[in-house]
Amino acid sequence: MSSRPSARGTTPSVAATDAPPRRNRPAVAVLAAVVALVSVAALLAVLLLTMTGAHPWTGLSWITMIGLPLAFLLGVALMVDAVRSRRTTAGRRGRP
């Protein structure tokens, strides 16, 4: 390796300009996935119980009606956060 200083006018390395990692992003992603899976399982239970002629518990329908939109909104929030983080990082690198 050379001990020469880097050439002037070069951009800093990516590691020096990355945005700080967000600690809550993986937790929100896992929460969104769990809520979506539970809601889909409740929906399947309602469908299967109805097809067999049984009367499903009303709470299963409510779990589905509340859980699927909540999982969707959590996914949208993750996407907005990722775009905002990427734009902030791109601005630090001098890109448009």
pLDDT one-digit tens code per residue, 67-96: 999 999 999 999 999 999 888 877 666 655
Residue 8, token pair as written in the block: 């002037």
Split at pLDDT 50, 70, 90, the class of 3 is low
Query: How far is it, in rounded angstroms, from Cα 92 to Cα 70?
Result: 33
pTM for this model (two decimals)? 0.70
Say if residues 39 and 63 touch (Cβ distance below 8 Å): yes
Decide: helix, strand or coil at residue 1: coil
